[in-house]
């Protein structure tokens, strides 16, 4: 049996997540599930919870890699929880676990995960009209090394299709 594709969705936590971002993240999670890929998130609230909810409702498998050492901190839509106990360093674990990354909005934590994925040359796509990190870095490289261009797209469907194209390429 072939390994399932694993797509990381990153973005605002509950303190910066608007209802509009929740709606976008929910749709991204549902699209990941419909593609028969595993959804990976940081397992907490905001975009992470909304994407997990969308994947869960679409019958997908969700994995939350949380910074705490106790699984009870994960949102209720995580089917599998990895309590890393390594705090914010778990951003690297999230990025390295993924075949590709989708950004929805985001602040400094999202930027940390984006940088980790960038350094390891993971395909990265952003919902360019979702604000924050996603909008700021859409259609750009993070630095002079030009490891991987962050591709800006308009819809959750385009985001998942882009990642799938890069994974199978």
Q: What is the pLDDT of residues 51-98, one digit of tens each?
A: 999 999 999 999 999 999 999 999 999 999 999 999 999 999 999 999
Q: What is the pLDDT of residues 141-166, one digit of tens each?
A: 999 999 999 999 999 999 999 999 99
In a domain, 151, yes or no: yes
In a domain, 149, yes or no: yes
Non-local (6+) Cβ contacts of 92 within 8 A are: 116
Give the pLDDT score at 2.
80
Q: What is the pLDDT of residues 93-135, one digit of tens each?
A: 999 999 999 999 999 999 999 999 999 999 999 999 999 999 9
Give CA–CA dist 9/103, Å, rounded.
6
Q: Is the pLDDT of residue 169 over 60?
A: no
Q: Structurally, how many domains does the chain consist of?
A: 1
Give CA–CA dist 89/126, Å, rounded.
22
Residue 78, domain extent = 6-168
Tokens representing 31 are: 């699209």
SS3 (DSSP) at 79: coil
| 3-state secondary structure labels for all residues of 2-58 | CCCCEEEEEECCCCCCCHHHHHHHHHHHHHHHHCCCEEEECCCCCHHHHHHHHHHHC
Q: Contact, 65 vs 40, CB < 8 A?
A: yes
In a domain, 140, yes or no: yes
Q: What's the CATH number where 119 sits?
A: 3.40.50.450
- Quick count: other Cβ atoms within 10 Å of Cβ 18? 13
Give the pLDDT score at 130.
96
In a domain, 1, yes or no: no
Q: Is the pLDDT of residue 168 over 80?
A: no
């Amino acid at each position: 049996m072939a390994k399932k594709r694993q797509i990381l969705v990153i973005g605002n936590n509950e303190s910066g997540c608007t209802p509009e971002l929740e709606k976008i993240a929910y749709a991204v999670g549902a699209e990941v599930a419909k593609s028969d890929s595993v959804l990976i998130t940081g397992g907490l609230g905001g975009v992470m919870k909304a994407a997990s909810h969308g994947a869960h409702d679409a019958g997908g498998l969700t994995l939350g890699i949380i910074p705490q050492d106790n699984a009870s901190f994960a949102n209720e839509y995580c089917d599998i929880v990895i309590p890393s106990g390594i705090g914010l360093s778990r951003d690297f674990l999230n990025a390295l676990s993924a075949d590709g990354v989708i950004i929805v909005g985001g602040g400094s934590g999202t930027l940390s995960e984006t940088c980790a994925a960038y350094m390891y040359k993971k395909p990265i796509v952003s919902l360019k009209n979702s604000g924050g990190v996603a909008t700021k870095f859409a259609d750009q490289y993070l630095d002079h090394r030009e490891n991987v261009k962050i591709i800006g797209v308009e819809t959750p469907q385009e985001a998942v299709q882009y990642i799938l194209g890069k994974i199978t390429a």
